[in-house]
Amino acid sequence: MIRTESLHRVYRKGEVSVSALSDITLRIEAGEFVAVTGASGSGKSTLLNVLGCLDQPTAGSYRINGQDVSMLADQELSAIRNREIGFVFQSFNLIPHLNVLENIEIPLFYHGVPRRERRRRCIELIDRVGLRERITHASSELSGGECQRVAIARAVANAPAIILADEPTGNLDRDTGKEIMALFQEMHASGKTLIIVTHDMQIASYADRIIRLDGGRLDENGQDDS
Ligand SMILES: Nc1ncnc2c1ncn2[C@@H]1O[C@H](COP(=O)(O)OP(=O)(O)O)[C@@H](O)[C@H]1O
Ligand SMILES: [Mg+2]
């Protein structure tokens, strides 16, 4: 499902260039649960952003379901992102003044799903993440764990095949992090391809496979040791 071939991502600012990803070749199959680990600055977020079509490689190819997306224009890229990919971030990225239902509704709204159908699907998702009693609460009134539940429901609202999460438990205490991981496991069990970035080995151990980055390169010794 996901194939990268000798992927590079160089950030340039004036004279300075940072090689955030170098020569990344990897395959991730549909339905896999993969954790990406590595020290701070090793390129984890950069890799996730490229895989999630939020960013593009400066060299190399990236194919999703056979389609090369490394050279696509922004518009085509965002179409693929909206259709195929759900994102979860460490800082939740919810809209604070909107309530739980409204936050989850946003992607469905942009997909042109009619209001009634939107509501029906949102309520189903809210039940799934266990937030029925919070449905009309503004996201600014929620705990971190509740915010992340909303973010996960929002990420899967469009039924994307791939869910990407960048340090999704990074702002949560350990017990709440475990609850969130249980939710990710549920999503994985329902057939989603899941890629989670974490520097926490306890979180990474939930995955079927661990990919390690070191200075922007794949640490080959660290692969397939799940
Ligand atoms: N927008 C950017 N501009 C310049 N350098 C960046 C940018 N984003 C990340 N970097 C650099 O790329 C490297 C990898 O960063 P990142 O992917 O955020 O690592 P991680 O998520 O593993 O902490 C770091 O050296 C970082 O400073
Ligand atoms: Mg990061």
Digit-coded pLDDT (tens) for 77-134 = 999 998 999 999 999 999 999 999 999 999 999 889 999 999 999 999 999 999 999 9
**How far does the centroid of ligand 2 lie from the alpha carbon of residue 123, in Å?**
32
Say if residue 184's pLDDT is above 90: yes
C-alpha distance across the termini of the chain, in Å: 20
The pLDDT score that the predictor gives to residue 226 is 42
List the residue whose alpha carbon is closest to atom 17 of ligand 1.
Answer: 43
| Within a domain: 22 | yes
Mean pLDDT confidence for 2-20:
96
Confidence of residue 220 (pLDDT cuts 50, 70, 90): confident
CB atoms within 10 A of CB 133: 9
Inside any domain, residue 89: yes
Q: The CATH number of the domain where 212 resides is what?
A: 3.40.50.300
- What is the Å distance from ligand 1's center to 168 Cα? 18
- Residue 76 counted as domain residue: yes
Asked whether residue 100 is domain-assigned, the answer is no
In a domain, 128, yes or no: no
Predicted local distance difference test score (pLDDT) of residue 223: 52
Nearest protein Cα to ligand 1, atom 11: 20
Per the domain annotation, does 101 fall within a domain?
no
Place of tokens 């990344």: 24
Domains of the chain: total: 1
Ligand 2 center to 164 CA (angstroms): 13
> Is pLDDT above 60 for 50?
yes
- Which domain range does residue 50 map to? 2-93+159-222
| Mean pLDDT of the residues in the chain | 94
Classify residue 137 by burial, with Cβ atoms within 10 Å: 0-12, 13-18, 19+: middle
Res. 222: pLDDT tops 70: no
Q: Is residue 132, in this structure, part of any structural domain at all?
A: no
Q: Does residue 58 surpass a pLDDT of 50?
A: yes
Residue nearest to atom 20 of ligand 1 (CA): 41
Output the pLDDT for position 225.
45
Its pTM stands at 0.93
Q: Is the pLDDT of residue 24 over 80?
A: yes
Is 200 inside a domain boundary? Answer: yes
Question: 207 near 201, Cβ under 8 Å?
Answer: no
